[in-house]
Amino acid sequence: MTLAEQFLALDSLLMRHRQYWQCTAFDFDTIPWPELQGILSELTDDQVSVLDNDQNQLYQLFSQHISQLDELAKLCELPSSAHSQADYPFWISNGIKGRKFAQLQDFVSALPNTKQPVLEWCAGKGHLGRMLAFNGASNVHSIELQQSLCEQGQKSAQQQGLAMHFSQADVLKDDVTQFFNTDMHAVALHACGGLHQAFMRQASLAKVQQISFSPCCYHLFTANEYRAMSEDANKSELNLTHRDLKLALQETVTAPSRLEKVRKTELEWRLGFDALRKSITGEQYYVSVPSVNKAIFSDSFKSFCAWAADEKAIKLPQDIDYIKYLEVGVARKKITDRVELVRHVFRRAIEVWLVLDRALYLQQQGYQVSVKTFCEKQLTPRNILILANVH
């Protein structure tokens, strides 16, 4: 199957099943799909949590109730990059946390072995560039927004005797065409949304010989209405928004139980306050309140409601039954979790759709393109690598 055929099959399937994923979980007080009512109500909270962390189990559970999930799973399968990791001296990993260093090792190992000059996009302190320089890249030019990170990265490279230099630039506003030329390997690991899209456009415009990148956070630095990159995606009727793009990111490596407990409390309180707000205003739709320091969720539900009401300019009555509204929040969280579970059946499919849009765009620019995974999901669910080289 070509990338275009895979994209079109996935697009068609997502279109046919959009009622299951193109919705907002907070909008529902009851399960919105009668055919899934039974199976979802039978699940315990622990089972929901376990299923949410295992995409294959999700496919299996719902395959008897939602058609074509076997086909969906196959369309989301990507070849893994077969590679062996290089050995690095201890000083290369200085300042890189364990899981991040393992991601970098796998990413670098999956790249084509080249001594070409490297352009490192959205480089941070240049951890990726340092590894490529150590592996023999003739020189590495690292582009980064924050001057302080450029300085730290330059200092590390000089201390370690690596052929690197940094440029500070806002890649969305500054003229970056000067950084690109034909004879180079342009790389980016987990550049967000508009940042990796700008990278793709500039690199392909300059006919850079090799482009290797792993996309991330597809909604950031972009318009709310998704602007497709390839001709095939431009013909799609999905009409994705930021909400849909965020769905692609909702497969996570399991968070520590302490964070899970705070998230649970936060969601229950937000939903409880929403029920209270509706009772006061008469409105029937969900309205979000801003993000807030998590310390507030170790206080009381009453104090959270006072803060949230202040944020929304709502005057609270004196005689509120806070226990009742908290109970509503707890009950609604159970519904929300189960609606999200169904939406999550399609999260990898949305991500693969977005990745294939990027791959097809590069094909249109004259590149030979492959899409594969570079590491296990346990290291990062954002494990997709797009490799492009000029024919």
pLDDT per residue as tens digits for the range 213-229 = 999 999 999 999 999 99
Q: What's the pLDDT at 84?
A: 75
DSSP 244-287: HHHHTT---PPPPHHHHHHHHHHHHHHHHHHHHHHHHH---S--
Mean pLDDT of the 325-334 span: 97
What's the maximum distance between 2 C-alpha atoms anywhere in the chain?
72
- The CA distance from 79 to 384, in Å, is 10
Q: Quick one: pLDDT at residue 95? A: 84
Q: Positive or negative, the Cα torsion across 316, 321, 322, 326?
A: negative
**pTM for the full predicted model:** 0.94
Each residue's pLDDT tens digit, 160-210 = 999 999 999 999 999 999 999 999 999 999 999 999 999 999 999 999 999
Q: Is the pLDDT of residue 371 over 70?
A: yes
Interval 103-118: pLDDT, tens: 999 999 999 988 999 9
Measured CA to CA, the distance from residue 164 to residue 152 in angstroms comes to 12
**pLDDT at residue 321 is higher than 90:** yes
Gap between the Cα atoms of 264 and 249, Å rounded: 19
Give the pLDDT confidence of 275-292 residue by residue, as tens digits: 999 999 999 889 999 999
Q: In what order do the strands lie in the sheet with 210-216?
A: 164-168, 140-144, 118-120, 185-192, 210-216, 384-390, 367-373
Which residues, other chains included, contact 141 with Cβ-Cβ below 8 Å and sequence gap of 6+? 117, 118, 119, 120, 164, 165, 166, 167, 179
Give the Cα separation of 44 and 50 in Å (integer): 10
What's the mean pLDDT when you consider all of the chain? Answer: 95
Any idea what DSSP says for residue 370? Answer: E
pLDDT digits (tens, 9 = 90+) for 68-125: 999 999 999 999 997 777 889 999 998 898 789 999 999 999 999 889 999 999 999 9
Q: How do 185-192 and 164-168 pair as beta strands?
A: unpaired
Residue 233 above 70 pLDDT?
yes
Residues 350/14, Cβ–Cβ less than 8 Å: yes
Phi, psi of 67 (to 5 degrees): -70, 155
Confidence of residue 269 (pLDDT cuts 50, 70, 90): very high
Euclidean distance between CA atoms 167 and 145, whole angstroms: 8
Give the residue-averaged pLDDT of 12-23: 98
pLDDT tens for each residue of 339-368: 999 999 999 999 999 999 999 999 999 999
What is the per-residue pLDDT for 106? 95
What is the mean pLDDT of the segment spanning 150-164?
Answer: 96
Phi, psi at 52, each rounded to 5°? -65, -20
Residues 296, 265: Cα–Cα separation, whole Å: 10
Q: Which residues of 214-247 are buried (b: 16+ CB within 10 A; e: fewer)?
A: bbbbbbbbbeeebebbbebbeebebebebebbeb
E strands, the chain, are 118-120, 140-144, 164-168, 185-192, 210-216, 367-373, 384-390
Which amino acid is it at 313?
A
Question: Is the pLDDT score of 51 beyond 80?
Answer: yes
259 — pLDDT class (breaks 50, 70, 90): confident
Q: Is the pLDDT of residue 255 over 70?
A: no
Whether 254 shows a pLDDT value over 70: the answer reads no
